[in-house]
A and B are shown apart, each in its own frame.
Chain A
């Protein structure tokens, strides 16, 4: 039988999704549910000095008005997965504009909204720091960089001395803006208490994290918290931590003694669950006349909230440490605290922003050296990870450059800026390297082989829309010799065996080996039952093969139904486990991004007109969902390059474009036909199946490829994202 893994199988949940049958957090029919509405601060810094709830409490249908004055006291969460460390509604201090200051519960949503707007809060306003750029001199060293696992700084050789002595140099500052994830599904939670047990239906990328955080905050054992989330309407990082809205819903449900539902508005999504912070990055590159890098220095600063809310440092320099071969490399990470909400992970955290700076600088170096940008990268190719001093588990980046360049037609490029035109329109070709760590974390899975040959399997993982249901179904189909139609894989329920949060492209490499091991365990149990049967005399497990509910052996066959009936079993269960990543190798995926832009020389309009991305991401478990990830990631990158920016009013610290009419993401005419290439290769070090996660890799390097193309088209080097009309108007 041909392997099911790898095939472009349609999503197994596709029909449910397009017919509205897939149930998202806010859609669960929970009897007796009442509605909550959040109230948020309108000042960026200060203290609440008075809360007048009298009008709101007297309104029809109102069940509770919860403010810092009457909110349940919560335990601080010290959970490792969470960037959010400050429980909510615990004091009167206001640290950003849009902070949650009350939650109002009523029998209907309309009545809750009306009461929420009748709440009167009086503030004592303090002076606020609202923009990062006005506070760069206050930059500080992160206290818990990468969860405390390493220093925010690194050094190899002497980057400053080598830079000073070098022949050819680039020294530039790059800036990326605040961006918001904006998944289609806003955050939503329904919470229901039964005594001291709570069930929470919530839109999350991590049911285990939600379970442990809520247990800690409410002082109950994790076993008393059940988290259910079968579908996520996009997360991109903003549903990775358990943010205050989920906690407040549970608090409100406990207070009113009824199930409570809270669904955020789009505007509230901008201040309630993180964002990609603004960065200011200074990059210095130096090379010898032959284009060999002799020094790299990358000093990254990222914007933070006030420190008491938690800590999130955008790790912009990590890729810089390992992407190129260079004897002298220095990297630093610093934070700048402002009166803003807490930032968080957003698709390709660190790499998306950091590689924009590094790969723009590499393009500037190629121009200074008069070397082709692809050739410059080949001359500095890192065969091993010089930062970790380890071999790569798999690195086919050279093939990505070669296949990507060929598909794009890169050899036809005239290197001179403004040299390529279509009529009056300026054409620019740019490229950049992509990289993202290949991650794996401990996970467990359970598989039940049933008498009729069908399989039920599960793991407490998530499907963010990326295809977890589908690829796990494929893995099981191959392992147990069964059609994917006879496999039912369940996830998104904390009563299932635990799995890590879906972030950092970890799900496939963490969960698929656990599923595979669970299948192997079930199969082994089945074979043991058969081998104990006198009819199997003379056979060993090497003689047995399971296919379509029958175990086949030379000249003999054992239908599953009979084996199970004889053993008095309804099903055979196998459990499997994945450990954390192996230590001997550096684990990274790679890619090469090639973009063509068309720029109107008079009007400054920039449009991406062609795109090729070639990726080295191990074995692809599903060619269709895999390609969808690449297209989605590249589209996300086009938004980062040309459109996305959350603008802050400097006076009040309030976001001004907090809706989808004014926060621009690409629409269809902004996205050209995207050619995607998976470079062949398997990574058995990370995953016995040879696979890696690919959720984030495809967006890394898109913004610099486009920025480099804009430079090639116009001769204008834009170092601040997004690149807009006024930047190239001349």
Chain B
């Protein structure tokens, strides 16, 4: 770990100004950043602790769910309104990490969690995301955990978050505050970027821009939702494949579907074509299987992750069957 300065300003403008300067970096729960700093993957010269800022509230009412950026994963997972009206969020949280980590990690930090690609996390390897232009040995290397969708010839690193998959499915938007007090809102689906030829740029955040809240609109689909995570180890492992499925049912007919998947994409992977194919259809195994076929269109497996093409479809069919039942 390299030496760094530490600031814990009490107001957002000061924090944003400090983080916007070169070498600045926000820290909240620190569950990912501390690891990355210890491994020299990230070496900020100044970390700006945002924990004193007033963004920790969880608000649920008729106009939706507002998760303050500093709300803890454990608190959100245990919130009665989240469990009742947005079960996919609670389930995604409880399938993440371990209780100790969930007690520290925050909503905003989770959106910015960095990939678990082995090659990214070991500075002994080249990596286009860590050191642009140095190359990507992962694509032809140990790629079992890597993405089959959304990759480029420069990077196929998987986005690791479970929570982001659930939130993307539910049309969540992200509230941002930038330098000089500028505020804007972006759809979470547009927040993460595909790697393309700039895999080092992972989000649309501007320098110093701070996530202040995640806002989830209410829906009938959100109330009938679930998160399914498939992995080798029964707990405390990132997803090989996961599915966030939210359905609005009218009898046995699917009135609305919101679907995103994890472990397969270079960003949380929304599946609009699958949703469209399911809308107005009967909830039958045949329709689920046909729709799941659309989910893997364009998949580019890299060898050791070939099985994800099949597993992704099966996971989606299982999640759809479970939620529709």
Contact = CB atoms under 8 A, between A and B. Distances in A.
Interface of A: 42, 97, 110, 113-114, 117, 267, 602-605, 607, 642-643, 647-652, 654, 656-659, 661-662, 664, 666-670, 722, 724-726, 729
B205 interface: no
B61 interface: no
A654 B40 contact: no
Interface residues on B, range: 35 or more
Given A117-B40, A726-B307, A647 B230 contact: no
Contact of B141 (A110, A649, A669): A649
A642 B236 CA distance: 15
B233 A603 contact: no
Contacts of B231: 605
Contacts of A650: 141
A658 to B, nearest CB: 7
Given A113-B1, A267-B122, A647-B118, 17 more contacts: A42-B124, A97-B124, A603-B314, A603-B318, A647-B144, A651-B137, A656-B125, A656-B141, A657-B142, A661-B35, A661-B116, A662-B116, A664-B237, A670-B234, A725-B230, A726-B306, A729-B307
B142 A724 contact: no
B282 interface: no
Nearest to A603: B230
A160 to B, nearest CB: 37
A651 B233 contact: no
B297 interface: no
Given A652-B125, A654-B122, A664-B232, A602 B116 contact: no
Contacts of A666: 233
B2 interface: yes
Nearest to B124: A42
B305 to A, nearest CB: 9
Contact of A668 (B3, B230, B235): B235
A284 to B, nearest CB: 30
Contacts of B183: none
A602 B318 contact: yes
B311 interface: yes
B227 interface: no
Contact of B310 (A110, A661, A729): A729
Contacts, number: 90
Nearest to A113: B1
B291 interface: no
Nearest to A608: B234
Contacts of A267: 39, 122
A648 B231 CA distance: 21
A725 B307 contact: yes
Contact of A656 (B122, B234, B235, B307): B122
B2 A114 contact: yes
Contacts of B142: 647-649, 656-657
Interface in B254-275: none
Provide the main secondary structure of the chain B interface: loop
A114 B3 contact: yes
B125 A642 contact: no
Contact of A667 (B119, B230, B233, B318): B233
Give the 9 A-B residue pairs with the shortest CB-CB distance, closest first.
Answer: A726-B307, A669-B234, A656-B118, A602-B314, A647-B142, A656-B142, A670-B234, A669-B235, A649-B141
A137 B179 CA distance: 63
Contacts of B119: 649, 656
Interface in B112-163: 116, 118-119, 121-122, 124-125, 137, 140-142, 144
B125 A649 contact: yes
B83 to A, nearest CB: 21
Contacts of A658: 122
B240 A725 contact: yes
Contact of B137 (A110, A117, A649, A657): A649
B119 to A, nearest CB: 7
B315 interface: yes
Interface in B1-29: 1-3
Contacts of A114: 2-3
Contact of A725 (B35, B140, B311, B317): B311
B307 A652 contact: no
A402 B286 CA distance: 48
Nearest to B38: A265
Contacts of A670: 233-235
A393 B248 CA distance: 70
A652 B40 contact: no
Contacts of B307: 725-726, 729
Interface in B284-325: 306-307, 310-311, 314-315, 317-318
A722 B232 CA distance: 10
Contacts of B121: 659, 662
A603 B316 CA distance: 10
Nearest to A656: B118
14 contacts: A603-B230, A603-B318, A605-B231, A605-B232, A647-B118, A649-B141, A649-B142, A650-B141, A662-B116, A662-B118, A666-B233, A667-B236, A726-B307, A729-B310
A654 B124 contact: yes
A724 B140 CA distance: 21
B156 to A, nearest CB: 14
Nearest to B35: A661
Contacts of A604: 230, 311
A664 B236 CA distance: 9
Given A661-B116, A662-B116, A667 B235 contact: yes
B315 A603 contact: yes
B41 to A, nearest CB: 12
Nearest to A661: B116
Interface string B26-44: 0000000001000110000
A17 to B, nearest CB: 20
Contacts of B140: 651
B179 to A, nearest CB: 32
Contacts of A113: 1
Nearest to A724: B232
B15 to A, nearest CB: 26
B118 A605 contact: no
Contacts of B144: 647
A320 to B, nearest CB: 30
A483 B141 CA distance: 60
